Structure 1
Amino acid sequence: MFKMLRQKLRSMYSLRKLMSVLITIAMIITVVITNALSREDAKEQIEELFDAQMLQTAKVLELFYVNQFTQTKVEQLALQPIKLHVHATDVETFAEQSTALNLMYEHKLSFQLLNSMGDLLVYSDSSGDKPLTSFTQGYELRNIDDVSWHVFSYFSQAHKVWIVTAQSEDVRKELLEKMMSNAWTVPLIVTPIVLLILLLITYSLFKPLKALEASLLSRTPQDLSSLHIDLPSELVPVQDAINDYLSRISQAMQRERRFSADAAHELKTPLAIVKLHHDGLQEVLNEVPESLAPQLHDAHIHLNAIDQGVERMSHMVEQLLLLSRVDALNALNLAPTRVGELIETSINQLITIITDYEWQINIADDLTVNVDPFYMALVCKNLIENACKYSPKESIICIDAAEVNGQIVLRFSDNGKGMTDTQILRAKERFYRVDENANQGAGLGLSICQHIVSLHCGTIHLHSNLPNGLTVVVSLPIAPKTIGRA
Structure 2
Amino acid sequence: MTIQRYLLIVILSVVVLATFSAALQGFKASNNKLTDVFDQEMQSIAYTLKNSPMALSTEPVDTHSAFAFQIWQRGILLSRSVNAPESLISSEVNGFGYKSFLGNRWRYYSMIEDEIHVIVAQPVSQRIESIEEVLLQAVLPIVYVIPLIGVLIYLAIRKSLQPLRDLSAQVKQKHASDLSPIAVHANTSDLVPIETTINGLLTRLCAAFEREKTLASNAAHELRTPISVLKLNSHNIKVAFEAGDIQAHHLEELEKNTDRMAHVIEQVIALNRTTPENFQAKKEQVNLESLLQEVIANNYTLIEEQQQSISLNTEQIYLIADKFSLETLFDNLVKNAIKYSGITSEISISAQRFDESVVCVVEDSGCGMTDEQMEKAFQRFYRAKQHEQTGSGLGLSIVSHIVQLHQGQIALSHSVLGGLKVAITLPIKEKVAYGSN
Question: TM-score by structure 1 length?
Answer: 0.43
